[in-house]
Structure 1
Amino acid sequence: MSMPMSPPRTGSTDAPDAPVSGVAVTIRNFAFSPATLKVPVGTTVTWTDQDTDTHTVTSTGSGGPLHSPALATHATYSYRFTTPGTYAYLCTIHPFMTAEVEVTR
């Protein structure tokens, strides 16, 4: 009689198919923090506006996946990255606010 295998531990390095947890980006003082975020495929990133001004999270160029509505103070926007690559984004209201997410396998 064989013993049942225990499920992989979430977040374990020896369980590559385990779900990836989320990562937070803060919008504060007219900046995204961190400005460069590196995450594995499958990660959900959540942006939270901590400024009193409204901001967006919008892919630079055309066709990018990030298109948040205008985020008021404490509002959030989340996106799950499923394809490796570098995703540059900005606030369309304040285009000097730029950042990027690097997604790796």
Structure 2
Amino acid sequence: MKKTLIIGLLVVFVLISGCTSTTTVTPASTTPGPTTPAQTSTEQQVNIKDFNFVPATAEVPVGTTVTWINDDNVPHTVTSVSGSFDSGSIDAGKTYSYKFNQAGTFEYSCTIHPTMPRGKVIVR
């Protein structure tokens, strides 16, 4: 009986040891990989919401196209104070885009709602 118990325990031990696995952990490389230069965005979005331009000021590089999206339920305009661009009436849910090809500061307003805060695009 003692011999049978020892043989049974040995069989169980062999079976259990065969079910385990060894995992080798390799540390992550500390050498940095190649990097990609940051891309300069050529698009900027401004939302018209609750009678505000969001963001109120956008800073962009020359050549950027700014798109205004009318998220209000009434029409608005995007009209440059200097007269360099004018969207005309932008209905609710519609957009207007303008490409800024020269550096400068461009203030704009909504001519339908003159009490609405102005927006500004700074082109560098």
* Equivalent pair of 1:90/1:96 in contact (CA under 8 Å): no
After TM superposition, the runs of 4+ consecutive aligned structure 1 residues lying more than 3 A away are none
Greater relative contact order (CA < 8 Å, ≥ 6 in sequence): 1
What amino acid maps onto 1:23 in structure 2? Answer: Q
- Indicate the percent of aligned positions where both proteins have the same amino acid: 45
- How do 1:72-87 and structure 2 match up within 5 A? 72-87=91-106
What amino acid maps onto 1:80 in structure 2? Answer: K
Unmatched tracts of structure 1, length 5 or more = 1-8
RMSD (Å) for aligned C-alpha atoms: 1.6
The structure 2 residue matched to 1:32, chosen from 17, 35, 53, is 53
Figure out how many residues of one structure are paired with residues of the other and give that number: 88
Q: Which has the larger radius of gyration?
A: 2
Alignment of 1:100 with 2:115, yes or no, is no
The TM-score with structure 2 as length reference comes to: 0.66
* Cα distance between partner residues in 2 of 1:101 and 1:72: 22
The TM-score with structure 1 as length reference comes to: 0.77
What amino acid maps onto 2:106 in structure 1? Answer: Y
Aligned-partner SS, 2:114: coil
Match of 2:64 in 1: 43
**Alpha-carbon shift at residue 96 of structure 1 (Å):** 2.1
Which has more helix, going by share of residues?
2
1:15-70 CA distance string (max 9 Å, x none): 8xx7x421100000000000011000010000000001110000114xx3220020
1:43-100 CA distance string (max 9 Å, x none): 0000000001110000114xx3220020111110000000000000000001122110
